[in-house]
Amino acid sequence: MMDNAPVLTCSGREFSVETRYVGRHTPTESIDALCDAVLSAAREESGSILVFLPGASEIRQAARRLEKARLGRQWIIAPLFGNLTHSAQNQAIAPTPAGHRKIVLATSIAETSLTIEDIRVVVDSGLQRVPRFETGSGLTRLVTLPVSQASADQRRGRAGRIGPGVCLRLWSREMHHTLIPAHRPEILEADLAGLALEIALWGVDDPGKLKWLDPPPRNTFDSACDLLRSLGALATDGGITDQGRQMAALPMHPRLAHMLVAANRLGYGGIACDLAALLGERDVVRFDPGQQDADLRTRLDLLQALRRKRPLTSQGATVDHSALRRVIRAADHLRRQMGCQADDGDAVSIGRLLAWAYPDRIARRRPDVRGKFLLTNGRGAYLDPASPLAAEEFLVAVELDGERREARIFRAAAYSMDILLEQFAEQLRWKEAVDWDHGRLAVAARRDLKLGALALRSEPLTAPDPQQVLKALLKGIRKQGLQCLPWTRSLKRWQERVRFLRRFSGNDQQWPDVTNEGLESHLTQWLAPYLAGMTRLRDLPRIELKAALFSLLPHRQHRLMDELAPTHLTVPSGSRIPIDYSEDVPVLAVRLQEMFGLAQTPTVAGGRQPLLIHLLSPAGRPVQITRDLTGFWQSGYHEVKRELMGRYPKHYWPDDPLQAQATARVKPKGKK
């Protein structure tokens, strides 16, 4: 790989470190458990303590908890993470004053890149927060993961720099062996837009042509190339453009480089340099709990106020002066590199500038919902409803957390429809849409002016494709459910009879699936031919539903169904009683006196399916349910007779029901 280049080895010295596993099972997220371990180490061990936590939020919680523990004046609690002021970081790194000990609460930043003096004890939570780039959303999100064995060993080694030390791990010895040996290389998880632009500058259009220790993932690389094409950095054949060469010369992400190049052409290069420098630094404003303002205009105003030596004010927030000064230095360096004026474009819409960098994150507020937005890339995003930007119609969302369902917006700028229409005129497309409008319960046919997933204007479509209208109407019927069709009681009974025959025949395909689910899955075949000219729910009563349903069976099957699953049964009294096929076993509900003289249980399905007989009292209430009519006459009838004779003395209660005359009346004619 390296053409047999010589290898130099330089071994370092490390003192012995005693490792203690003080957790139960997995690395803990409990701040209380971690602080208990820190306090125990403070009492029992000498020297300062380095504590590893996953992120700034956990560090702040641990600092508050330890401050309440009243350790004593000799102890200094020093947080250490990237967004701290320079002086706060120095306090964590600097040597401990004589007579004092220090508890440094740090993220993974303290694993390898920094040397912190006087550390004799390491307390490791076993967790770390790492960025993960999602190809589908184009966003990077932070996830909390258990450390790898390699990271745990690196953290442990911090306790053995100046002498023998102790490492307390907040997980079990057994669990330690289940940790992955090492985390995946960064190239497999990162945004590859910068890498794709760099190798395009070399004249390479396919990363497979290069030798890699770990080749970049193909889908992530392709996604990066798609972004570069949308920024004008790559041609359709994958070669770099003049725009791309200008972008590659700038020391920043291609998104920001595109913003600088495009803005400089229009005379807004200076303000674009300020924005790029702001976005290259961690947020220069930290807000009090409950106070949030995502507006980048606020940050830009603070930067310009400092540059012009004006007072810096930001309500409900703390301004990081040292970070602002770093931003000014970086911005001034960019201005010199770009040849921009010191102060230009104060009145320009910064949304316009940022849209060049983030065309896929232009956002439009969802109708009638404050703080909820849809991005041009099709993803959802939200702001705290109390944020001043939450009421804006359009935004450019610059920093988001990358959550899968809806991303939270941390930094953004106001934008407008007028600027969008002018700025992206070449990318706008009219798209026809025919769909079901759930609010109007009708087919909506329109054409939309769109930028990505955002619909900017809509107008009615005067002559929509009939097939698309039919497809949308069928979609609406599925959403509403088949109950929106003009069912009658007789059609419901027809459906139940077909369902019975299909069930009885073991789902034989000669009998179609007419369950609601089965009918919905084949609407196009049986219902669509009867929907001509219909576009709304209130048109559906005009459907010839009987003809549509009956089309599912050929004529011979209709005759066979009448034979196998008749609608009615003529009982001994002469009455035609309907058969209920809605249950697994067909039911005949009939008054007991109408069945006198019938010895055998009646059947359907060619004699193969006995009916379930519900024998009713004169008042129509079931007194016996049976599939063995002969057995009932022999053993159950006389008990039922004794019970009912007292309640219905005027009715006919013969001693021998098999020899008696059936009747639908109180008594047979001629009987007293």
pLDDT in tens, 258-283: 999 999 998 899 999 999 999 988 78
Strands (E), 204-330: 285-287, 317-319
Give, rounded to a whole angstrom, the gap between the first and last alpha carbons of the chain.
113
Q: How many CA atoms lie within 13 A of 223 on its CB side?
A: 18
Buried b or exposed e, range 258-270, using 16+ CB within 10 angstroms: bbbbbbbeeebbb
C-alpha closest to that of 376 among 399, 403, 394? 394
Q: Which residues make Cβ contacts (< 8 Å) with residue 493, sequence separation at least 6?
A: 567, 578, 581
How confident is the prediction for the chain on average, in pLDDT?
89
Place of tokens 């920094």: 114
Assess whether pLDDT exceeds 70 at residue 381: yes
Please tell me the distance from the alpha carbon of residue 130 to that of residue 144, in angstroms, as a whole number. 7
Q: What is the mean pLDDT of residues 598-611?
A: 95
Of 122-131, 219-228, 398-407, 635-644, the range with the lowest mean pLDDT is 398-407
pLDDT of residue 283: 84
Rg (CA), the chain: 39
Cα(609)–Cα(666) distance, rounded to whole angstroms? 31
Q: Which helix (H) or strand (E) holds 400?
A: strand 394-400
- How far apart CA 173 and CA 661 sit, in angstroms, is 88
Q: What pLDDT score does 136 carry? A: 57
Q: Does residue 246 surpass a pLDDT of 70?
A: yes
In the chain, which segments carry CATH 3.40.50.300? 17-183
Determine how many CB atoms are found less than 10 A away from the CB of residue 375. 26
Q: Pairing state of beta strands 127-134 and 380-382?
A: unpaired
Kindly report which listed range (205-214, 483-492, 531-540) carries the lowest average pLDDT score.
205-214
Count Cα atoms within 13 angstroms, Cβ side, for 519: 21
As a whole number of angstroms, the distance between CA 421 and CA 429 comes to 11
Angle between the N-to-C axes of helices 269-280 and 321-338, in degrees from 0 to 180, rounded to the nearest 10: 140
Task: Provide the pairing of β-strand 609-610 with 603-604.
Answer: antiparallel
Poorest-pLDDT segment among 42-56, 78-92, 144-158, 453-467: 78-92
Structure confidence at residue 409 as a pLDDT band (50, 70, 90): very high
Specify the fold of 17-183. Answer: Rossmann fold (3.40.50)
